[in-house]
């Protein structure tokens, strides 16, 4: 499988799932555009490293995904966007009657609104080139719910709904629109939470992962960023030409319960 000649724009991709996706698409020959809200030397060095390792073009473009104009500006700055991966996201946990309004607004803006803006901006170019893939990184929480995550659950359900609607709008075109719904993925952010959770529950690492963090994930194993990247790559392949408007769960059986 080769994605040579295609350009992928991945939001929220200087670490975690987004970076894993970018590396996998670059490995398959796609040029990639990395993105986050920061604009450090390390961000640009990361893109340069991917370019060197895989022999592709890789750029880093700073854009604040909470700002609609910046989201659309990212697509414009990329120049070409054949594969759009909407991955940017944040989280906050609180009961709804205590949920800070600014956190609610930020979660909806970054997790849901950004996907609307980037997709709307990218579709005209995909249509002009006669090919396109939109892959939205939703969540198991786009299909089910947990307490104290009202904003995140609302946003991810919205991403799944938007995925279906846009897929219907593009169904007669060579453009597919799908969502991936990961369960818990071992990212640097999750890794950093493990020591605190060990102390809170007075458990060793393996026990706290299996019995606390992965309590709702029947496999009792984290998904990996490479696995999410591989799923995105499949959706970008010719084998997935007739897959549109659907969700693929990468959650160790979470949503089967």
| Alpha-helical regions (H) of the chain | 16-27, 41-54, 68-78, 101-108, 114-129, 150-169, 188-201, 205-208, 225-236
Question: Do residues 222 and 186 touch, judged by C-beta distance below 8 A?
Answer: yes
> Of 47, 20, 69, 2, which Cα lies nearest the Cα of 238?
2
> Of 73, 4, 61, 2, which Cα lies nearest the Cα of 36?
61
The active-site residue, picked from 60, 152, 184, 201, is: 152
Catalytic residue flag (residue 152): yes
Residues 103, 98: Cα–Cα separation, whole Å: 11
SS3 138: coil
Annotated active-site positions, please? 152
């Amino acid at each position: 499988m080769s994605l040579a000649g295609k350009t992928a724009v991945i939001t929220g991709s200087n670490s975690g799932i987004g970076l894993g996706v970018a590396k996998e698409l670059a490995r398959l020959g796609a040029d990639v555009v990395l993105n986050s809200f920061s604009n450090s030397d390390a961000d640009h060095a990361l893109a340069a490293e991917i370019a060197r390792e895989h022999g592709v073009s890789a750029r880093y473009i700073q854009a604040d995904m909470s700002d609609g104009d910046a989201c659309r500006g990212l697509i414009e700055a990329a120049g070409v966007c054949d594969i759009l991966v909407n991955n940017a996201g944040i989280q906050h946990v609180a009961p709804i009657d205590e949920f800070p309004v600014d956190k609610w607004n930020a979660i909806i803006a970054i997790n849901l609104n950004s996907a609307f803006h980037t997709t709307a901006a990218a579709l005209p170019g995909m249509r002009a080139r006669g090919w396109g893939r939109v892959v939205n990184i939703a969540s198991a929480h786009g299909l089910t719910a947990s307490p104290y995550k009202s904003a995140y659950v609302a946003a991810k359900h919205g991403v799944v709904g938007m995925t279906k609607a846009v897929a219907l709008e593009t169904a007669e075109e060579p453009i597919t629109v799908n969502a991936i719904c990961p369960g818990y993925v071992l990212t640097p952010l999750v890794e950093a939470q493990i020591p605190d959770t060990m102390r809170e529950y007075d458990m060793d690492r393996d026990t706290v992962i299996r019995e606390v963090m992965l309590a709702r994930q029947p496999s009792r194993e984290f998904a990996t960023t490479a696995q999410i990247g591989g799923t995105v790559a499949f959706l970008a392949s010719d084998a997935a030409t007739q897959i549109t408007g659907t969700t693929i769960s990468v959650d160790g059986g979470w949503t089967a319960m």
